[in-house]
Structure 1
């Protein structure tokens, strides 16, 4: 079944082309992965025989600048999940980002979520690595790790809502490639079941501290240390919380706990809002 993803910018492109009396318009309907030409009429945009959007529908999409619509089988539905909180995919100039209850879950300012996730993977992953990707989200870092030459990537994501959205995200399709294993569950619990020294590198991109403080704990860092091979590498996204009282920053606390867990060469990576460390 053909699927088309539309958001404010490409809907506006279609409306402008219709207003100019053009017979076709070049659009990306897979969220900036590719472009192709689509037919226009004075009634609207023709995606295919079963999927045609009226001018009114296009105007509705234009108004919702932070929303992506999936068009298939004659229906137009937003890429969101309101069953528990509010999860949605938000358009960017590149890959879509994940937003949960109004909080953007990616570095997106001045960059692209896929590019920034790839940069995180590059901090830790080397060719041939077995990689653990905690709190995988849309899976961008896991996909980047595989492209960097990882032999195997274990991708863990707790939220079923997030996994549902990434199953509909064209940029997440490579999670199905051989070499990536997807698991749904709690990283804090699952890591305790993993053998010691079973990974060469770890990418740890947890939710903010207020939502998952245990994933910033010395106890969890000791488990990451345990499952890493000697000289194994960690990249840990910390975000950029405000400096807390007494002048001690949140990131300094993370560094202190990582060192207490046994890590060495713990270094801030400011442009990626995280730290690297080595066993």
Structure 2
């Protein structure tokens, strides 16, 4: 299966009251784990790179080629969307040129009128090449590639204007944050999500999906969230599995220091995490 854009997949998800997971990759092991989980569950999936991950991995073109070649080598038959996560204006344009199937232009830290104008530009460039676009209104809490947000609630009127600019899906701030949620986190604002969903008919995106209780995620999906981003949970699962490998002194076994052996339990932990979240989101199997 070749890469596809996300427009119809996420439109169907919102209409069907389920979500499709968006999972960040950081290297070959992450990529294989995410794609393997999608194939195992026979569900569509979105695999994404942040700006920082793409720089670490060697650039956007390399990331796209890695995903494409891994799809081929693993004989992946389910739909896969290649997406830029939290891209600035320059990154979004570069990924459009490289051939990502979907890009997020995150202009929330700009004055709103500038965010709106640049979103329109990115939409025009992307749609001319059949590429989906995600925009963002309202800051997502925490930090993503140096962009720090306090997690405020998206302004409904601004969200309406941004949605009218033509993106295919819209990331909204409803109290969600990136990273590990603090003990005093107040939970998602379903009142604000209800307001947003009533006014905006394109699919809505929940960032910071790691650590939100399952019942809150399910309620958000039922109310209009069609894409849920997961990254931190994968990182934590990876870290715990690799730590356990060393704690059990498995690296002392014959060739236990081989990186392929060291990385294997972490890769499986990521795959298990992705499969678990696919089940949470209610993503239906491909027919």
Fold equivalence (TM over 0.5): no
Higher-Rg member (1/2): 1
> Could you tell me the TM-score, scaled by structure 1's length?
0.27
| Structure holding more strand per residue | 1
